[in-house]
Amino acid sequence: MAFLELVEATKSYDGQKNVVENVDVAIESGEFFVLVGPSGCGKSTILRLIAGLESLTSGYVVIDGQVANDWPPHARRLSMVFQNYALYPHLTVEQNMRLALQAQRVPKEEQLKRCLEAAEMLGLTDVLQRKPRELSGGQRQRVALGRAIVAGTPLCLMDEPLSNLDAKLRAKMRSELRRLQRQLGMTVIYVTHDQTEAMTMADRMMILHDGRPQQIGSPLDVYNSPDNTFVASFIGTPPMNLTDAYVLEHSLLLQGERPIRLERRPLPKAERVIVGIRPEHIRQAELGEGHMTAKVSHIEWLGSETIVMFELAKHLHWTARWHGQWNMRPGEMVSLAFDERALLFFNERGERISPPAIKREEVWIGP
């Protein structure tokens, strides 16, 4: 049985519009589960429903096999880490970390033992007697995390805890947080709008849009086999190239004006589709060969890789991501090719209508 389940969980504040609708998910003990989606999609609301800070309009929260809808927050045996740290400014680091144990009336010796163990784990031993104003942003976030560790609860809810940190520290804290979670065996439900955080940290992830789940799966399964065009465009940087197309006998007519002949990939039995391909699956071919010739419209050199945007037709652009540094200029004509099996097809409603015809390890991802 799953450690935590949401069963048809729905929340409405006005009785008319659902901000969360029919969320069904089972989260295993020790799993790092990420809720990801754009701002306003219902991620934090789901966290508050699990914590008992909001009541469900319909559906169930099930914790360890028991319906917990009516349980108060303190009975759910969970801790929370917030975006704004939520530290008491007049207390020291040690006092902030021991606060939950004091409320539980844990003996002082046990409080101190747990606090010192968490501080050692998080590199906070030297700052235990400092106040939050004397700490850096990264240290404050570690104190907030330490408070959750000291509490010893089996479930930890994290609401965008790294969003206030700079990019370098955020990357470091991602790996540190994941290491600690594995070490402690804690079940974590993590909210973020940053798809890089979701991809690098999650055991499994749920993509949300307008309060509705779009797909649940491991990061690579979601990336390689998106269920719809929203997931395809939201997960991945740069996002998947998506273009309306007419299906002809042995080719696609992109946006009604750019034909691409396909030799190997069977085409879906539909008149119109949305065709998708990841930027890293497009490669340069010898001029005059490949699937198409396109004009370079924009180029970004990122050091280890190059992002190139191509104009296929007047209002049709595709983006390619290539390893290394490519010497190209806007206006240059380039032949492009791709493994036809890397193409994905979606119907006019945006739902995927064919599985990938290529295994993950077979997809070509280099220049």
pLDDT bracket for residue 345 (50, 70, 90):
very high
Residues 105 and 204 in one domain: yes
In whole angstroms, give the CA distance from residue 25 to residue 6.
Answer: 5
8 A C-beta contact, residue 137 and residue 165: yes
Whether the full predicted model's pTM is greater than 0.85, yes or no, is yes
The whole-angstrom separation of Cα 8 and Cα 36 is 19
Count up the domains in the chain and report the number: 2
- Percent of the chain past pLDDT 90, that is, above it, reads 59
Query: At residue 209, does pLDDT exceed 90?
Result: yes
Work out the angle between the directed axes of helices 108-122 and 137-151 (0-180°, nearest 10): 140
Q: What is the CATH number of the domain that holds 18?
A: 3.40.50.300
Confidence of residue 270 (pLDDT cuts 50, 70, 90): confident
Domain membership of residue 98 (yes or no) is yes
Tell me what percent of the residues of the chain surpass a pLDDT of 70.
Answer: 95
Show the domain range for 11.
Answer: 4-224
3 state DSSP class of 151:
helix
For every residue of 15-80, DSSP letters joined together read SSSEEEEEEEEEE-TT-EEEEE-STTSSHHHHHHHHHTSS--SEEEEEETTEE-TT--GGGG-EEE
311 and 209 share one domain: no
List the one residue out of 1, 52, 49, 51 whose CA is nearest residue 22: 49
**Can you give the pLDDT at residue 365?**
45
> Apex CA 152: angle with CA 146 and CA 158, to 5°?
55
Q: What is the mean pLDDT of residues 167-174?
A: 83
Range in 15-29, 154-168, 331-345 the model is least confident about: 154-168
With 60 as the cut, is the pLDDT of residue 360 above it?
A: no
- Indicate if the pLDDT at residue 53 is higher than 80: yes
Length reported for the chain: 367
pLDDT per residue as tens digits for the range 68-96: 999 999 899 899 888 778 899 999 999 99
Residue 274 scores a pLDDT above 80 = yes
Question: Domain holding 352: CATH number?
Answer: 2.40.50.140
pLDDT digit string, tens, across residues 234-257: 999 999 999 999 998 888 999 888
* Mean pLDDT, range 336-363, rounded to an integer: 78
Q: Report the pLDDT averaged over residues 23-48.
A: 95
List, in sequence order, every residue forming a beta bridge with 260; answer none if it has no partner.
252
- Asked if 310 and 319 count as a contact pair (C-beta separation under 8 A), the reply is yes
| pLDDT number for residue 199 | 94
> Does pLDDT of 357 surpass 60?
no
3-state secondary structure of 145: helix
Query: Do residues 108 and 175 share a domain?
Result: yes
Run of H or E including 229: helix 229-234
Residue 27 lies in a domain: yes
Task: For residues 274 and 60, give the distance between their C-alpha atoms in angstroms, rounded to a whole number.
Answer: 37
- Of the residues 224, 256, 271, which one is the last residue of a structural domain? 224
Residue 366 has a pLDDT of 45
Q: Quick one: 215 and 331 in the same domain?
A: no
Identify whether 232 is part of a domain. Answer: no
Look at residue 169 and tell me if it is in a domain.
yes
DSSP state of 202: -
Strand-strand pairing, 78-81 and 155-159: parallel
What does pLDDT average to over the chain?
A: 89
Regarding whether 120 and 36 lie in a shared domain, the answer is: yes
Q: Say if residue 279 is in the same domain as residue 170.
A: no
Cβ proximity of 20 and 41 under 8 Å: no
Compute the C-alpha angle 275/264/235, nearest 5°. Answer: 30
245 and 220 belong to one structural domain? no
According to the model, what pLDDT value does residue 354 have? 67
pLDDT of residue 106: 87
Q: What is the 3-state secondary structure (H, E, C) of 233-260?
A: HHCCCCCCEEEEEEECCCEEEECCCEEE
